[in-house]
Amino acid sequence: MNGTSETQGSAPTAIVWHPDLLQYRFSDRHPMAPLRLDLTHRLVEAFGLLRAEHVRVIEPPVATDQQLAGVHEPAYVAAVRAAAERGVADEPRGLGTEDCPIFPDLHESAARLAGGTLAAARAVWSGQVRRAVNFAGGMHHAAAAKASGFCIYNDCALGIRHLLDAGAERVVYLDVDAHHGDGTQSIFYDDPRVLTISVHETGFSLFPGTGFANEVGGPEALGTAVNVAVPARTGDAGFLRAVNAVVPQLLRAFRPQVIVSQHGCDAHADDPLADLRLSVDGQRRLALDVADWAEQFAEGRWIATGGGGYNPLKVVPRVWTHLVAAAVGAPIPVDAPVPDEWIEHVRGLGPDQVECDMSLTGEGEDAARIPRTMGEGADVWWRSWEVGYDPADPVDQAIMATRKEVFPYHGLDPWFD
């Protein structure tokens, strides 16, 4: 089964971008390398996606302390500021760790990422655009009072908070990163206005060790936290089956006014920090599905962010360019050639620019695996839930565990809806 259509209308769309987003840089060797963003922006530009008449570019503002306090404790924001100024964390709060080392621009650069998604939410809810993408965002591990997993401020939560404060009554947060969207879930765990859905590798084998089916929301919001924890080595067919066996059914029941999605691409088979087996083609399919669901269930309102993804040459630029193309309404075929100008730029990168990509050390261009087409020739067929539940299939076991836990809260039958 191939899922939904690959054509979208040309709805007004905003893309968040400014070179200052590249200042979010923990160290030269840290996996969260700004090269990921730079090469994505260059590939988006090479395909002309920013030049369409219905597309506008939003420069991300630095979120103010008051705005950040909508989702983060003021004392935590102050601790981030102090750590950036002094170079050491007086209050650890997840700062100064291997995952979240301290650097001088820590507060401002993280607040700019957050400000980008906040600006995207403002543009969508005000009606200036119907869709917006901040591929520099997606910092889903940051909690109200703690940094975690390369994430300092939770931009997705900040965007959702703006939507709620502006009058939204039902918002869906959909996370398809390899890692559980724990920070965003925790911030809205007891808020019935926000349905958080995360499909990810099981916490038994992957950070942050959370995101199991029985995490269903706080006492005032039971059923509004949804987690599908698929086993390690799940590929396109299993992951797409898991998403499609849970997400559209809940969207139809919850009736969101806007969808906020996180598209970390670390579920790719060549990502060094996770154990899933998705392809670029499969992740492109996910972006197109979310675009369709926004049209079907949320009056077209859609805010998309990036997230994880640590193969900066082969994977991240292509997946997030497909995400931008889906939002713009101009899907790029998987057999489309990668533009020559982008390939030439990558060839010209020096060793100091690509230290974060270990595939480039000492083996020349072939080891870099510079992609030549926008897909990988993968088969993205998946078995629909209607075909039936296989009790021996670990993916089906994960799906059924989630459906049994959550579906009854929404008036849905775990077996048939």
Q: Which residues are catalytic?
A: 141
Phi then psi for residue 286, to 5 deg, are: -60, -45
Structure tokens at 96: 């100064």
Give the type of residue at 223. G
Beta bridge partners of 143: 146
Structure tokens at 323: 């995400």
For residue 374, the Cα-to-chain-centroid distance in whole angstroms is: 19
Percent composition of the chain: helix, strand, coil (DSSP 3-state, to 5)? 40, 10, 50
Residue 67, CB half-sphere, CA atoms under 13 Å: how many? 24
Give the type of residue at 50. L
How many residues appear in the chain? 417
CA dist list (Å): 106 to 20, 77, 201, 414: 13, 11, 29, 45
For residue 241, the Cα-to-chain-centroid distance in whole angstroms is: 19
Task: Name the residue among 261, 184, 254, 178 with its Cα closest to residue 215.
Answer: 184
DSSP for residue 360: G
Cβ neighbours of residue 163 under 8 Å, at least 6 residues apart?
Answer: 121, 125, 171, 257, 258, 260
Q: Is 278 in a helix, a strand, or coil?
A: strand
Structure tokens at 353: 């620019």
Cβ neighbours of residue 416 under 8 Å, at least 6 residues apart?
Answer: none
Q: Is 56 in a helix, a strand, or coil?
A: strand
DSSP for residue 98: S
Structure tokens at 327: 């939002």
For residue 174, the Cα-to-chain-centroid distance in whole angstroms is: 8
Cβ neighbours of residue 125 under 8 Å, at least 6 residues apart?
Answer: 162, 163, 166, 167, 168, 258, 301
